[in-house]
Chains A and B, each alone.
Chain A
């Protein structure tokens, strides 16, 4: 053991010297395009051309040349994905991993952790690989705590010289920058970024639009339209449970604001209005939303079994014509319905925007994810060559790196058509019948996650059905970004208190929502019992804590 560590030290020294020399060479003005291997690359627009204002100061335009000249190996840990292990015993055997090593010039050793338990054990044992891809903001106490506890090495002194492309990426959107840093101004790591709004609005209301056409009505926009449509579905289309959904999705209905906009409420969970934190379920407008759902329930328009329904039955209802409306996601919902019902007679579904108060309004919210998901590739303090790690990870934010991560390997998983990457038939129409996800899995990362910016072009080809494209349009039609609370970090002292208060409150609210909708509890108690109980449970303290975190986030940079 000792021998090899000595050797590693020497090698590290040599490589560092070599790298420093090559960096100096780069700085002398030679414009190098990275990667001599790949042939048909689109014309390289040097990243420096973007002409953005560098928030992170750098005196010289640094550019990293790939492949890096190094003999070192970096260890990376990823979460287990059986889409990969279905065909590859080691992640390093995948075409993606091989291409990544080739293009960056760095040898990689992949480790896999089975789940969050295994990850936490890895932390507890103190033996960390050089790089870890994980949900750093989910660490107990937040990413700052992870840094303080010696799990993450912040990028502050690495990022300028070693990761210029990451810097450029972060500077394109202030949310990217803020979401990748802690309160102290520490850079957490290399983030997974969902670039386009469309990538983050992937679920919502789904209706039988063929029925809508047959009935000669319009796609509903207001709550009243929606109600009338359900009635028609029941009376004219024989739908016994026109709106069939599960408890989970009813929560989504409210939490994501799919119907609450119609009542003047962005959504039922926490949101911010002009910088002020509010909990939707504690607002008076929420009562109106519950009354509406209760009306649907008592008139038999909302599935009376919804509280006990499971996903399978919900889907079956939709496919058998028992229901005409449900809530679902892009692939598991719309994609699944269309594909399953392909040759089974007249059937069509469409995603529709969240309901609004008046026709023509823009919904206040819909299903929405923040662009920075909290997933980061972090460098560990124990990494022996952090500069190398930072340079290696930077590759993904270059144009080439983006292509590799989003589309895979040219000639195999995609080809360039009019200078745009297009998935090959092997991916979109796999001869062995594999789904697109399974076909793409060995070649790229866009189907899952990683440390790169997810390209919306990928989604446009991945979810290629016209209904899916239209649904994405409809579902991303909302102002959710105005109201969403960004990934703030609640400070360590308050985090436990917040979780304790919220777990009580969430339990109570979930319970009461079901009781109000089902009429087990009369809505008159909303003001007399429900709100006072929330106050008793210290909801105001929770607002206080969250507000402090939001204020702190907004004050960054």
Chain B
């Protein structure tokens, strides 16, 4: 009764409609302003980096305070230097390979693991979950990890960057959370239709969790893209280094004169600051390009009602 009344009011009552709308407007007003501030505040670092990367290095050194526009003569010397480095190209190639193969493996492993952990009544689930989570907190450390890779004959192989990283437990847990949120009724319906676990996983779970899957692609993808530490300990051949390690090494070289024992002259190439910024641009730009394609997966609303067998 009460519902019908207020419903009727909402539709027909002009004053209450206006109240509703003005409440909406005030909030939206502040919301838009607040979010705009957020944008301005968070865009500054990126803006700073881009502007600094093309500024004149000597003027940049002398500049203090906020940077609002490139100082001095605009120069792309830093970018030229970075791209002239032959390792950068091989770095990109390696990273793309790792990304494509790696994320595919990641998705497969994560989906099967998360699915299992989301099944309502399966024996040993709790123990397997503990078995997995325990590894998040206790590990053997770098040395046994390294020896392990060596024993598996993966040293100096690009696979050492893919297989050991096949699963991230945190991501696994997040994916499982998404699967758990899929309404039981749909799972039951599929079971009644005679679906086995594989079918349930592929026909019910996966299609209904596209948003989280997109996030998985993003998380794993960015993880692979940014990683350099494993490469630094497992790879020997310079031609196999992924992009981030190459860039990191370029940066380090331009900041201090060589490794231990150097003359201590503290050599600073004129471009060293610019290179630091240019590298950030070079390594982040591809992510910004790919992101919009993934974004649409998790900004759309899902009408679960429409997805009925």
Question: Which residues of A are in contact with B by a Cβ distance under 8 Å?
Answer: 79-83, 85-87, 89-90, 111-112, 114-115, 117-118, 120-121, 124-125, 135, 192, 194, 199-200, 202-203, 312-313, 315-317, 319-320, 328-333, 335-336, 339-340, 369, 373-375, 435, 437-438, 446-449, 454, 459, 462-463
Contacts and interface: CB of A to CB of B under 8 A. Distances in A.
Contact of A340 (B62, B252, B267): B62
Given A320-B62, A331-B265, A449-B258, 10 more contacts: A80-B259, A86-B87, A86-B253, A114-B233, A114-B249, A118-B233, A199-B263, A335-B268, A340-B61, A446-B263
15 contacts: A81-B259, A83-B253, A85-B87, A117-B142, A118-B232, A124-B146, A125-B147, A125-B150, A315-B61, A331-B257, A331-B266, A435-B267, A437-B258, A437-B269, A447-B263
A485 B5 CA distance: 91
A124 to B, nearest CB: 5
Interface string B82-109: 0001110000000000000000000000
Interface residues of B, number: 39
B261 A448 contact: yes
B262 A447 contact: yes
B242 to A, nearest CB: 12
B301 interface: no
A37 B146 CA distance: 44
Contact of A449 (B58, B61, B261, B267): B261
Of B87, B257, B261, the most chain A CB neighbours within 10 A belong to B261
Contact of A114 (B150, B232, B265): B232
A312 B273 CA distance: 9
B223 interface: no
B253 A81 contact: yes
A316 B61 contact: yes
Nearest to A446: B263
B56 to A, nearest CB: 10
A331 B267 contact: yes
B15 to A, nearest CB: 58
Contact of B259 (A79, A111, A118, A332): A79
B266 A333 contact: yes
Interface string B23-57: 00000000000000000000000000000000000
A202 B250 CA distance: 24
Of B249, B254, B264, B270, the most chain A CB neighbours within 10 A belong to B264
Contacts of A313: 64
Contacts of B284: none
Contacts of B253: 81-83, 86
A448 B257 contact: yes
B261 A437 contact: no
A282 B270 CA distance: 41
A111 B236 contact: yes
A552 B229 CA distance: 40
Contact of A202 (B63, B252, B264): B264
A80 B252 CA distance: 10
B265 A463 contact: yes
Contacts of A438: 269
A447 B233 contact: no
A259 to B, nearest CB: 20
B271 to A, nearest CB: 9
Contacts of A121: 142-143, 146, 233
B260 interface: yes
B183 interface: no
A124 B267 contact: no
A22 B301 CA distance: 84
B259 A448 contact: yes
A501 B142 CA distance: 27
Given A192-B261, A312-B273, A332 B266 contact: yes
A339 B146 CA distance: 46
Nearest to A81: B258
Contact of B249 (A82, A333, A369): A82
Nearest to B85: A86
Nearest to A123: B143
B261 A112 contact: no
A117 B232 contact: yes
Nearest to B250: A82
A90 B87 CA distance: 11
B207 interface: no
A438 B271 CA distance: 12
Contacts of B250: 82, 86
